[in-house]
């Protein structure tokens, strides 16, 4: 794990690395645009994960070598990618049949806000001048079996992103299973946010102060990186 003693909390790469530990061998996974894309780099040796991109590819590989890309082989973020051996191309209705039909095991998404009941807001700040754009986010959270969110614990202004109720327009109701932040790993349970792990050097109280709803501690939450899941 990347060591960043100069700051409190995990780097984006360290957060992605922590998420990657929880992806099982053989899983079919969709990674959202942004920090989620980093997760693919950190899947542990010996695990084979098949990546789905909703624009019509299963078995997505990493970015192409410079000069070897095809502008018509891209991911959902419109960046050039490659196709691994065993890949398959298909049209959008088939691609979202995979999503809506519950065939994907996991989706990792970014968030603007996550509520204690699992509600997710990640598509619009609802501002009067914003151009509304939803893409496949609502389909993914409605259809994929397990939804992980990877996000900074707070906004740049310092406001909590884990909240009692989302103020931003919702992407889906009660859809998030687990949240990975720079400060902690937190499950969404019937009773609300439940601490799973703390980042190195971060205390329960530190996380609770930066969380907009009660945080449940169960036993002593281990430090991220101190155990091998």
Active-site positions read 54
Of 105 and 182, the one with the shorter C-beta distance to other proteins is 105
Provide the H-helix boundaries in the chain: 12-21, 35-38, 92-100, 137-143, 204-209
Q: How far is the CB of 35 from other proteins (least distance, A)?
A: 17
* DSSP assignment letter at 188: E
CB closer to other proteins out of 15 and 120: 120
Structure tokens at 101: 């039909």
| Burial category of 212 from C-beta neighbours within 10 Å (exposed 0-12, middle 13-18, buried 19 and up) | buried
**Least distance between other proteins and beta carbon 80 (Å):** 9
Distance CA 114, CA 172 (A): 10
- Which residues 6+ apart lie within 8 Å of 159 measured at CB? 212
Per-residue tokens: 180: 């990975």
Residue nearer to other proteins on the CB measure, 55 or 181: 55
Q: Which is nearer to other proteins, 132 or 158 (CB)?
A: 132
Interface ranges with other proteins (CB under 8 A) = 25-26, 28, 46, 48, 50, 52-59, 70-74, 78, 83, 85-104, 124, 129, 131-139, 142-143, 169-173
Which of these, 11, 216, 60, lies nearest to 19 by C-alpha position? 11
Partners of 185 in beta bridges: 180, 197
Residue that has been written with the tokens 């990618």 in this structure? 81
Q: Kindly state the smallest distance separating residue 37's Cβ from other proteins, in Å.
A: 15
Residue with tokens 């204690």: 116
CB of 32 to other proteins, least distance (A): 13
User: Residue 1 or 74: which CB sits closer to other proteins?
Assistant: 74
Cβ 11 to other proteins, closest distance in Å?
25
* Cα-to-chain-centroid distance, residue 22: 12
């Amino acid at each position: 794990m990347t060591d960043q003693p100069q700051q409190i909390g995990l780097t984006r790469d360290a957060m992605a690395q922590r998420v990657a530990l929880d992806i099982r061998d053989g899983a079919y996974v969709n990674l959202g645009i942004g920090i989620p894309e980093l997760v693919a780099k950190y899947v542990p040796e010996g695990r084979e994960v098949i990546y789905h991109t909703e624009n019509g590819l299963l078995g997505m590989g990493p970015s192409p070598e410079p000069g070897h890309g095809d502008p018509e082989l891209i991911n959902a973020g419109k960046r050039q990618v490659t196709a691994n051996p065993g890949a398959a191309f298909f049209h959008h209705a088939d691609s979202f049949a995979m999503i809506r039909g519950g065939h994907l095991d996991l989706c990792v998404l970014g968030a603007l806000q996550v509520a204690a009941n699992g509600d997710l807001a990640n598509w619009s700040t609802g501002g009067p001048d914003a151009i509304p754009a939803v893409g496949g986010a609502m389909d993914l959270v409605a259809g994929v079996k397990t939804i992980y969110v990877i996000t900074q614990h707070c906004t740049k202004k310092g406001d909590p992103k884990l909240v009692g109720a989302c103020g931003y327009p919702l992407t889906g109701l009660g859809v998030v299973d687990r949240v990975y932040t720079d400060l902690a790993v937190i499950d969404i349970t019937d009773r609300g946010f439940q601490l799973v792990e703390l980042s190195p050097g971060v205390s329960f109280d530190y996380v609770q102060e930066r969380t907009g709803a009660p945080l449940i501690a169960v036993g002593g939450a281990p430090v991220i990186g101190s155990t091998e899941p």
